[in-house]
Structure 1
């Protein structure tokens, strides 16, 4: 009976309750080609853990066994805040090796991109600062990851921290390990979507191989798709070997300077790439933050579109009233730091770049929304024959920051200036606010979706200003 129970727990796939080292299996989370990943708990403390166990059919393959054991040793020596921690490793009675690692509550970057779409250039920089720090530590310890891809970077649920995982095909770089490493020249290991040309040719990898993967990852983060795609592995390999790198700026609103960083990472000859992660990150910081003369960059900006809506008979006196009201709007937006970018006979658009810091950015949007609400609650003009009402619409999107005279920068074009995409359909009272502009500001106001336009909200106060 005991043997049958043990067989059910420790068969080809471990069942809930199986004890592996000091950890109890709870359930299967991922079935890979060589190993299965389980969610487990530490037997004494109950703390969660990720348990990676080699599948039985590979336990007798010397190469696979050596790579699996090398991964455990590699992770154990790479104690870094942005690399997954190894808690324990060993073998089951039947010879299958296992690795117990910290449980990462979150999702990998591929799932993150699928759920929320491409990252902004600044968000991508924040991710790559962390991944680059992890790679720098690995390279310093004589290890190249050589399977750097979105699926192998996990974004934790809280705090925006990321961790590099899966060193299963990592290669020891130190000369003394060259004769005993798990792989050698002539063996192709990695993932076709992000594989460097030298990997495809079966050449020995080095730190610059990871720089190629870092360029692929950067392109995917800001565009939502890998630079090269194909229906077969051969098609993908041909592109990595011979095709020019697509420009990310043609697929997403990122600074053109980011293209140069990606292109240098993905040079076909590794000698033409960055020598190390530090140089790549330094150039990426400059590209994203817009350092240097004549630099054009995309920034998040808030736009306030105010229309003077006229109902009834329109004459010169009514038009003069509209001019007066819009001049008052201009004065109020100027005082808040917004500048008029587009102006017509009965409307104007004022814009301002938003701060990078989240709390300051949210406060800036709140101030503009408060002012927009005050406009609807302030002086309106009405006679027996005509009524003039101010109807504001608020939106946040990307705008172009361009160098101007005397070294000053000014906002120019960009998606924010496409008024037809976010104006129109105002009900005539309160403020219309897009999802991007309202995010985090819902408290203290009455809000509802505009009928037929789920991305637009109608906002008004619980109690109007007196």
Structure 2
């Protein structure tokens, strides 16, 4: 389960990537030799080096094997003393039972799940308190695997397979939203593919898990989240969650877009990274298009792009509307997708900007560092767009902007000189930026080469996009140009440079 104590992140001091990834691990224990593995139906947990002792009883349930354990609590196999019904019993750790906020969140989870009587939400059978005062609840025991585990084993899904999973997930979310409940943590590890022997040997039931960080849209209910806290899993957060702003059900629509992309491509649109990198990617990175990474119809791009709009008002108004858009994109696909037309190549010039930081600076970033990093790319984008360049690649801490290079030699030379001058001017302006943090450094490289684009003008390849081939292996502060960028240019036409192969470092000082 995405536990509030682990995944509620104070905005001023975000956790490292390692910490964030740690709480996203799924940890289960086998139940008997050769039997299906009962999996924690409440989400991801962490294994401890030494498990805590399991209480003998929880209400009418006799407790047995420890199924999973995390920083918040444990999940234990339970059996009803009278009926023999097997359940999964969730119990917070004893040392946390005196924490009023944790107990309130535990009870909020019970309230949320009990209010959702839905086939794609796990059922709570009972709740109460242990003799030591700890709350507990007993839920149905699910056997199967998470969607995250399924993707790790089998790779990406076909559009039809993804749609079959989206339908029950969207149904569960529509029910939650109708009750004023926002899930806030839609991700593959919170989607469970449970075996359903009553419906056939290969049948499965899709269950939406982990309402532990759900929010009730009821002003009469006190919030359990501090105003400067981020709730959810970083790589799947909507922009408003990342900025710790008020959220509504459209945050879940964003999560559905990320979920669809992940199913189609086999990995999320944004790879796990340090908090400031993720923030840059989410707020300033290029829009994710699954058709660029998997053989799917571009119609599915439009579904993902709308769901993942940075502005919540531009997203689908409901989970059912998202599903209808996705279903239309999938069903409109031809049985055999024709090969796309060959990408068109064009000569272009480009400027690559990368933000560098001192070693260790991002391990525990302070507001001054984050503010400086966040200000750089928007300022650079505005300057380069004013020079007639357009974005080809953006990765959060870097960007590549390009423009066409005329075929005529004299015009092509003039375009290269303009780009070199723009790179030097950009570096000079950014070096003088307000609030410049001395731990932040800028690397710029300029190159000319080919860009291959599709019919919509989206860059698909070409040597200009092969950044490792023309940027320094170990980027450093300053402005660099490739040999191709400078070939044939009169050295006296612009500021002096000191040659080195295959790149030259340019001086930003007037000659």
Q: Which residue of 2 aligns with 1:175?
A: 219
Over 3 Å counting, the alpha-carbon distance change for 1:48 and 1:237 in structure 2 is farther
Q: Which residue of 2 aligns with 1:41?
A: 79
Is residue 126–residue 137 contact of structure 2 (8 Å, CA) maintained in 1? yes
1:280 aligns with 2:322: yes
1:241 aligns with 2:279: no
Whole-angstrom CA distance in 1 between matches of 2:265 and 2:51:
40
Equivalent pairs counted in the alignment come to 283
Q: Which residue of 1 aligns with 2:177?
A: 139
Is residue 146–residue 171 contact of structure 1 (8 Å, CA) maintained in 2? yes
Deviation track 1:215-237 (CA, whole Å, cap 9, x = no partner) reads 11111111110110133233223
3-state secondary structure, aligned to 2:241: helix
Q: Which residue of 2 aligns with 1:372?
A: none
Is residue 184–residue 204 contact of structure 1 (8 Å, CA) maintained in 2? no
Deviation track 1:434-453 (CA, whole Å, cap 9, x = no partner) reads xxxxxxxxxxxxxxxxxxxx
| Structure 2 residue ranges without an equivalent (≥5) | 1-49, 197-202, 339-511
Alpha-carbon distance, 1:12 to partner: 7.9
Is residue 255–residue 298 contact of structure 1 (8 Å, CA) maintained in 2? no
Whole-angstrom CA distance in 2 between matches of 1:24 and 1:227:
44
Deviation track 1:382-401 (CA, whole Å, cap 9, x = no partner) reads xxxxxxxxxxxxxxxxxxxx
Whole-angstrom CA distance in 2 between matches of 1:12 and 1:173:
37
1:225 aligns with 2:263: no
Is residue 156–residue 162 contact of structure 1 (8 Å, CA) maintained in 2? yes
Deviation track 1:193-240 (CA, whole Å, cap 9, x = no partner) reads 211111111112210011111111111111110110133233223212
Over 3 Å counting, the alpha-carbon distance change for 1:28 and 1:12 in structure 2 is closer
Is residue 51–residue 69 contact of structure 2 (8 Å, CA) maintained in 1? no
Whole-angstrom CA distance in 1 between matches of 2:97 and 2:279:
30
Whole-angstrom CA distance in 1 between matches of 2:114 and 2:139:
10
Equivalent in 161, 167, 170 of residue 205 of structure 2: 161
Alpha-carbon distance, 1:298 to partner: 4.8
Alpha-carbon distance, 1:183 to partner: 2.1
Deviation track 1:271-291 (CA, whole Å, cap 9, x = no partner) reads 11111111111110110000x
Q: Which residue of 1 aligns with 2:446?
A: none
Deviation track 1:363-398 (CA, whole Å, cap 9, x = no partner) reads xxxxxxxxxxxxxxxxxxxxxxxxxxxxxxxxxxxx
Is residue 37–residue 52 contact of structure 1 (8 Å, CA) maintained in 2? yes
3-state secondary structure, aligned to 2:82: coil
Structure number with the bigger relative contact order (C-alpha 8 A, sep ≥ 6) is: 2
Deviation track 1:38-88 (CA, whole Å, cap 9, x = no partner) reads 222222222221111111222122221111110001101110000010111
Q: Within 5 Å, give how 1:23-34 maps onto structure 2.
A: 23-34=61-72
Deviation track 1:6-62 (CA, whole Å, cap 9, x = no partner) reads xxxxx98343x7111122222122222212122222222222211111112221222
Deviation track 1:80-108 (CA, whole Å, cap 9, x = no partner) reads 00001011112222222212110111111
Equivalent in 164, 167, 185 of residue 126 of structure 1: 164
3-state secondary structure, aligned to 2:177: helix
3-state secondary structure, aligned to 1:155: strand
Is residue 219–residue 262 contact of structure 1 (8 Å, CA) maintained in 2? yes
Over 3 Å counting, the alpha-carbon distance change for 1:241 and 1:61 in structure 2 is farther
Query: TM-score of the superposition, structure 1-length normalised?
Result: 0.58
Whole-angstrom CA distance in 2 between matches of 1:254 and 1:29:
38
Q: Which residue of 2 aligns with 1:94?
A: 132
Over 3 Å counting, the alpha-carbon distance change for 1:130 and 1:275 in structure 2 is same
Q: Which residue of 2 aligns with 1:148?
A: 186
Is residue 57–residue 130 contact of structure 2 (8 Å, CA) maintained in 1? no
The runs of at least 4 aligned residues of structure 1 exceeding 6 Å deviation read none
Equivalent in 230, 235, 240 of residue 188 of structure 1: 230
Whole-angstrom CA distance in 1 between matches of 2:77 and 2:138:
10
Alpha-carbon distance, 1:136 to partner: 0.2
Equivalent in 255, 275, 299 of residue 213 of structure 1: 255
Quote the RMSD (CA, aligned, Å).
2.0
Whole-angstrom CA distance in 2 between matches of 1:195 and 1:46:
41
Equivalent in 304, 326, 344 of residue 262 of structure 1: 304
Deviation track 1:329-377 (CA, whole Å, cap 9, x = no partner) reads xxxxxxxxxxxxxxxxxxxxxxxxxxxxxxxxxxxxxxxxxxxxxxxxx
3-state secondary structure, aligned to 1:64: helix
Q: Which residue of 2 aligns with 1:13?
A: 52
